[in-house]
Amino acid sequence: MEELLRLLEVGSYQYFEELEGAYVCNLNEDKILIIKKIEKLDEINELVNRIPSVRNKIIREINNERNLENVEGNKIPMAKFLWDLYIIALHKVINPESKFHSEVLSRYERDRFIARKIIIQYEHEQELIDEFRRVVYPHKDLDRISLLGTYDSEPDINYEELDEFLKKVNILVDKEA
């Protein structure tokens, strides 16, 4: 799992025994992720029920020396007091029968009690990496695209890549609506 977290390019991560197989990631950022591989959707509810037991540990980690060093006068890092919690369930699809139905997934993802839930189903590692980046870190894709009008000369723009990216954004917006 730790190798997978490195491939997904999450920030720091920690393992809390109380969360049984889940890793808490990005404690120094405004988007805290709890990532776990699952085989059944019920594992998400079990994880949600365990989160209150590690609340104080998470807060202690947010209040670590690194964050406290950033406090200068009245300037406090936003991650210190304003953060979102995401539960990200990773489900490897081994065969067509093991894939979760979209209506059941929607029910879980719409339930935002305690945290926003994101379920990523994948068959191959690269598919997981691409979907994770698209859903959790969309700004990384945006950073790759050149902004129009920022160059004195005509910029090299891959319009096919830009069009494909905008289609993905539209799909994501439609899914969230």
* Per-residue pLDDT reduced to its tens digit, 13-34: 999 899 999 999 987 777 889 9
What residues have CB less than 8 Å from 43, skipping those under 6 apart? 36, 89
pLDDT of 4: 92
pLDDT of 83: 67
* Angle, CA 11 vertex, CA 13 and CA 8 arms, to 5°: 95
The candidate with the shortest Cα–Cα distance to 88, out of 140, 17, 10, is 10
Tell me the two tokens of residue 151.
């160059």
Query: Does residue 93 surpass a pLDDT of 60?
Result: yes
- pLDDT tens per residue, range 45-69: 999 999 888 888 887 777 666 655 5
Domain ranges of the chain: 2-124
Alpha carbon of 156 to those of 26, 152, 164, 165: distances in Å? 34, 12, 16, 16
Quote the CA–CA distance of 148 and 5 in Å, as a whole number. Answer: 34
What is the distance in angstroms between the CA of the first residue and the CA of the last residue of the chain? 32
Which residue's entry shows tokens 């894709």? 141
